[in-house]
Amino acid sequence: MTAKTETIDAHHHLWRYTPAEYGWIDEPMQALKRDFLPEDLKAAMATAGVDGTVIVQVRQTLEETRWMLDLAEANAEIRGVVGWAPIAGEDFPACMEEFDGREKLKGLRHIIQSEKDEHYILREDFNSGIRTMLGSGLVYDILIYERHLADTIYFVDEHPEQVFVLDHVAKPLIAAGKMEPWAAQMRELALRENVWCKVSGMVTEAKWDAWSPETLKPYLDVAVEAFGPERLMAGSDWPVCLVASGYAQWWQVLRDYFGGFSEAERASIFGGTATSVYGL
């Protein structure tokens, strides 16, 4: 009898809220202006039958990366950490030495979507840092808006041996009901077999108070068509998702959408792929 694949939330955050450090949380996001800590996470997981998680950076500080690793080591439910480090900095290799032996560090991420330079992902200093990640076993999580996809395809082509995970299906313009050029670029990016994709962060790209599973279906269809079930992983983007959806509500949307897929496909999407890609 084969063991049941665990359900893994491949993308969530935790924070101690301060207005200075979380300036992006504006008035419409009032619900996020508080602490979200491991006990809150565990309570949410219990409502949705989630067994383990991957925590992902929000602040671009080494201090936060250390904090997340400490939380992961103290809470067995947090299976892996996608932290931040100064990838584009000359001291990046030296910074990473600090994390040798921190086994729950599984990947790194930089908030490309917020950079003033629209072509930041193509900068030589950043790409030099990505090259130095090779051999570390670390995944790189790509956080972009759909308008950055063309550059991202070029970027991935520069690093054919690096494992990449695309966050939030590249944030398509769901609220505007716009599919192109996002859909064509997703299909093109997915031709690179070193890229996986998180089915997460979609409700916050839709109209927060007016989305439905039908609103999201065309975008989920493209993600499946492009990457196939075996290269998708489910994530919540909790607590950010709370501005538009409850935690269990989002997991039910995904379970309903993927309900007709094979048992093996669902096992991959809801935990197997995250476990293998991140080495959880």
Q: What is the pLDDT of residue 2?
A: 52
Structure token pair of residue 64: 């936060």
Local structure of 177: helix, strand or coil: coil
Single-letter amino acid, residue 211 = W
Q: What is the pLDDT of residue 5?
A: 83
What does R_g of the chain's alpha carbons equal in angstroms?
A: 18
- The Cα 250–Cα 37 span in angstroms is 20
Q: What is the pLDDT of residue 3?
A: 63
Q: Taking Cα atoms as reference points, which of 278, 171, 182, 161 lies closest to residue 225?
A: 182
Q: What is the pLDDT of residue 1?
A: 45
Structure token pair of residue 173: 């313009």
Instruction: Write the pLDDT tens digit of every residue in 136-171.
Output: 999 999 999 999 999 999 999 999 999 999 999 999
Length of the chain: 280
Instruction: Write the pLDDT tens digit of every residue in 46-77.
Output: 999 999 999 999 999 999 999 999 999 999 99
Q: What is the pLDDT of residue 4?
A: 75
Local structure of 165: helix, strand or coil: strand
CA atoms within 13 A on the CB side of 194: 17
CATH of 8-278, one of 2.60.120.10, 3.20.20.140, 1.10.645.10, 3.40.50.2300: 3.20.20.140
Q: What is the pLDDT of residue 118?
A: 97
Cβ–Cβ < 8 Å for 242, 203: no
Cβ–Cβ < 8 Å for 258, 251: no
Q: Which residues of the chain have pLDDT under 70?
A: 1-3
- The Cα 55–Cα 210 span in angstroms is 28
